[in-house]
A and B are shown apart, each in its own frame.
Chain A
Amino acid sequence: MKHFLYLHLLSARQALVKILRQPFGSLLSLLMLSVALALPLALYLGVESTQAWVGKLTATPQISLFMELSAEDADLAAVKSSLAGNPKVKSVSFVSKAEALAGLEKRNGLDGLAADLDSNPLPDAFVVTPVTLEPGELDMLQKELSGLPMVESAQFDASWAKRLYGMVELVRHLTLFLGAALGLALVLVTHNTIRMQILAHRDEIEVSKLIGASDNFIRRPFLYHALWQGILAGLIAWGLTSWLVATANPAVREFAQLYNERLELRTLTAFELLAMLAATGVLAMLGARLAANHHLRQIEPH
């Protein structure tokens, strides 16, 4: 067992040294893999960052019910009781026109605005929190509520957020697809790298086989080479995206500021980084294994 581990350690170290010692050739394929990996990774981070934020917006969709300006107290009471009796409505809060005007003055620093106006131009409003989160049912509820007597309009506050959410979903699917496609590319590129290496070491492999090397022994250095290549490519891709996030974040923050929101792109968590490195390592080894199985069979003796 100790011997087995020793052999593996030796192979792993030799493979790493080899990658680091022939910088140009391996650097090119490493960079190619890294750039390819950085693309879905950056998309993933973009989606993850905005999805959390968009999810927060849409998690509590609210419908604002604006009353006609001429609505009387009796009308308000009627709407209120109708809302209270509606099983699709979770809770209702009432914002009277006086409260709304006071709020407006306070928020915008327009003290004395009310005094200058002949009458309050703002309507009474109900803010309805529905039970459901399902977009179709929300639409139905919105229509139903706008049909109540003396209701001017029912606005679904989160409708734009819902559209954004849909777009983010789309990008998320794109990320998955790109991730899968470039994962496959990782397998194929490693397959090719290892194939070239096996062909370059044909004599050594033949002699090793002749003097008693098992297939596992011969495969081992190539698999470790692929493993390091996968891990290094993952690390470089991580570095590239981290750099991208760091440079893009000021602009993203500024953009979000325009909408009075706080939004930032995040970098990978330690767990995500480890998972990604494990995935790139395994995919690279898969490519190497396929190449080795195919090409070692062609070298005598069998």
Chain B
Amino acid sequence: MIQFDQVTKRYPGGNEALKNLSFAIDSGEMVFLAGHSGAGKSTLLKLIAGIERATSGGVLVNGQNLSKLRPSQLPYVRQHIGLVFQDHKILFDRPVFDNVMLPLNIIGFDRRDAAKRVRAALDKVGLLGKEKAMPIHLSGGEQQRLCIARAVVHRPSILLADEPSANLDRAYALDIMELFKSFHQVGVTVVISAHDETLMEDYGRRIIRLREGQFAA
């Protein structure tokens, strides 16, 4: 479960990305986050993942108040969250398999079980045949799938995706959305941000609309 309690995020320089925001996302819910770029979507996701810290207010994730944790404890919160980045953040110096292995190395997964997990995740996103390929040879859609495989390989309870369908054509974007839906169906809390609302409306899920750091009317 994710809960925001009067959260304000002000960046150095005075820019207020989020203004006094309160809401809750239930465990196992699938929620869309809508708004133009600069509306605060990315900041909101970063606060959930503990990448950024709230200037004021409380951010509760899985019962832990991130505002009260020491910085050194935040990485362990992130280990229970899967992150899909708009710019993928794939490591181009190693093959697909090793990219997906990274989260398992970080949580210290047993190596033999880890290989099975990696192949399962790659199978899920349809990249099983490309585990030895270098990411540079993948298409944009495949790179996004690789990023998703890396986000789910350690079976997080929360999956956050920042503009996962940006830069993809509509057919590919729908594929990706179906993928997220399948994770939601097995009980994962899924939060997806996008600036294109037409994709979200087909799914009939809750949509949190942001404008300039506040709920849009």
Binding site for B on A (CB under 8 A): 3, 6-7, 203-204, 206-215, 217, 301-302
Contacts and interface: CB of A to CB of B under 8 A. Distances in A.
B36 interface: no
B75 A212 contact: yes
Contacts of A3: 108
Nearest to A217: B106
B126 interface: no
B51 A7 contact: no
Given A212-B76, A212-B107, A207 B102 contact: yes
Interface centre among B75, B83, B150 (most CB of A within 10 A): B75
B52 interface: yes
B72 A210 contact: no
Given A211-B83, A211-B150, A203 B91 contact: yes
B89 interface: yes
Contact of A215 (B51, B72, B83, B151): B72
B71 interface: yes
Interface in B173-191: none
Contacts of B164: none
Nearest to A216: B72
A210 B102 contact: no
B89 A7 contact: no
A301 to B, nearest CB: 4
Given A212-B79, A212-B81, A301-B52, 16 more contacts: A6-B108, A203-B93, A204-B91, A204-B93, A207-B102, A208-B102, A210-B85, A211-B83, A211-B103, A212-B75, A212-B78, A212-B103, A214-B72, A214-B76, A215-B75, A217-B75
Given A6-B108, A211-B103, A206 B76 contact: no
24 contacts: A3-B108, A7-B108, A203-B89, A204-B93, A206-B89, A207-B89, A207-B91, A207-B102, A208-B106, A210-B49, A210-B85, A210-B89, A211-B78, A211-B79, A211-B102, A211-B150, A212-B75, A212-B78, A212-B79, A212-B106, A214-B76, A217-B75, A301-B52, A302-B71
A85 to B, nearest CB: 77
A210 B52 CA distance: 11
Interface string B67-104: 00001100111110101010001011100000000110
Given A206-B89, A301-B52, A211 B106 contact: yes
Interface string B121-158: 00000000000000000000000000000110000000
B57 to A, nearest CB: 19
Contacts of A208: 102, 106
B106 A213 contact: yes
A210 B78 contact: yes
- State the 5 A-B residue pairs at the shortest beta-carbon distance, nearest first: A212-B78, A212-B79, A214-B75, A301-B51, A213-B106
Contacts of A211: 78-79, 83, 102-103, 106, 150-151
Contacts of B91: 203-204, 207
A66 to B, nearest CB: 79
A198 to B, nearest CB: 15
A163 B123 CA distance: 81
A235 B76 CA distance: 39
A210 B87 CA distance: 13
A164 to B, nearest CB: 58
A198 B101 CA distance: 21
A206 B151 CA distance: 15
Nearest to A214: B75
Contacts of A209: 75
A209 B50 CA distance: 11
Contacts of B52: 301
Nearest to B75: A214
Contacts of B78: 210-212
Interface centre among B71, B78, B83, B85 (most CB of A within 10 A): B78
A204 B81 CA distance: 18
B69 to A, nearest CB: 13
A103 to B, nearest CB: 79
A279 B95 CA distance: 39
A32 B120 CA distance: 47
Contacts of A301: 46, 51-52
Contacts of B71: 302
Contacts of A204: 91, 93
B154 to A, nearest CB: 8
Interface in B50-71: 51-52, 71
A35 B81 CA distance: 49
A213 B78 CA distance: 8
